[in-house]
Structure 1
Amino acid sequence: MLKDYYLDLGAHPQLNGSQDFLIQPKDFHKYVNEDYLIFYTENQGVCLWGIRREDAASPNPPVYENYGEEEWYQTSKSLMEFLLAMAHLQAVFSMELSNEEYWSIDEQAVEEIKRIYPSKQADSDLYTGVQFFWPSGRIDCGYEQ
């Protein structure tokens, strides 16, 4: 799955380098770890994400994170969930219709958003409290999907 992601979307700068960064294959040598294949880094290098080497043969392995310590913590149940959540988060920072402002909304507004827009189920446990919603049906984003 990770190889397919690199081949299909790995070179897309907005999805893979607006806030945090998909590590490019040419830079893998900078992130060597005996127990984990490290493939994503936080924008300041404080956090790294990887797949346990023992899970590498799994079609959709869990993803773990590390903060420069020996211990790694599971951050996502599956690679697909992780990549989807990161792509949505990156889009918030970089896509044409994104907004750099943050708004505080009350519980009533939250319930109205949930009623009108279905969840994209791209929340994972990656960023606590972050949820993604999208109108039903297909929206023309201006590029091939």
Structure 2
Amino acid sequence: MARILLTEDDDGVRMFVQRALMMDGHSVATAEDGTDALEVLSESDDSFDLLLTDIQMPEMDGIALAKSAAKSWPDMTILMMTGFAEQRERCDSLSVIVHDVVSKPFSLAEIRSAVKGALSGRAAEEPVSIVRAMVG
């Protein structure tokens, strides 16, 4: 399975997504913000297949992280997530480096499907809806 770096500042969301991805057999490392994620990427002996990152985070946001990661690790797929429509719009100019943006809240099945699609190079099979509740 894939090696994934999950970057999310909300502890509950980070644990929810990490467990969801581990259910599919993925190896999941975590980071709390973009600065922490760049450290994990730089210090890792093995490459990551996927960077799954929130957009809005303290220190370094997901967009700055994606730009930096794409320069240093161009073969790594980047999938972003956000609960804010205006943040999603900020990603429009990043379509060359970002596979897709998943809207929060999402269900367990939705995030697993989005990751599966990103790893296989295709968009999620079903649009992700913001009307569903997830974690608090």
Relative contact order, CA 8 A, sep 6+: which one is greater?
Answer: 2
Please identify the structure whose Cα radius of gyration is greater: 1
Which TM-score band (shorter chain)? 0.3 to 0.5
TM-score (norm 1): 0.34
TM-score (norm 2): 0.35
